[in-house]
Amino acid sequence: MIVGVGIDVAEIDRFARSLERTPELADRLFVPAELLLPGGERRGVASLAARFAAKEAVAKALGAPGGLRWRDAEIRQEDSGRPRLEVRGTVAARAAELGVLAWHVSLSHDAGVASAVVIAEG
């Protein structure tokens, strides 16, 4: 059963300007593992924008309650390259309230826009 669906988009250039203007923003939004590629290089801004869109989509899938912390929703990358959502803290608590048992996430970026769709399944 689908508990919630969230979708969000982020303009990549606008997101890049936000990161440049506020350097500590990346650390407020992402856990260290999200900022790095598997080889240890810093992840590109398009990829980070897609992860940001996914965090927004997670909130929407949960009904957009206040009090969710950005770093309590982590977008991980499986060896296959497929994105996977891990939740903890405020996000895990809200998901438990709603009976969420599994997450499905899709990320994309093209033509200057990053997007994400998140499905919360019960």
Residues 68-77 have pLDDT tens digits of 999 999 999 9
pLDDT above 90 (res 47): yes
pLDDT band at 115 (very low <50, low <70, confident <90, very high): very high
The answer to whether 34 is a known ligand-binding residue is no
DSSP 8-state symbol, 44: P
pLDDT above 90 (res 49): yes
What are the sequence ranges of the domains in the chain?
2-121
The answer to whether 8 is a known ligand-binding residue is yes
User: What topology does CATH give the domain 2-121?
Assistant: Ribosomal Protein L22; Chain A (3.90.470)
Per-residue b/e over 82-117, b at no fewer than 16 CB within 10 Å?
ebebebeebbeebbeeeebeebebebebeeebbbbb
Residues 9-39 have pLDDT tens digits of 999 999 999 999 998 999 999 999 999 987 8
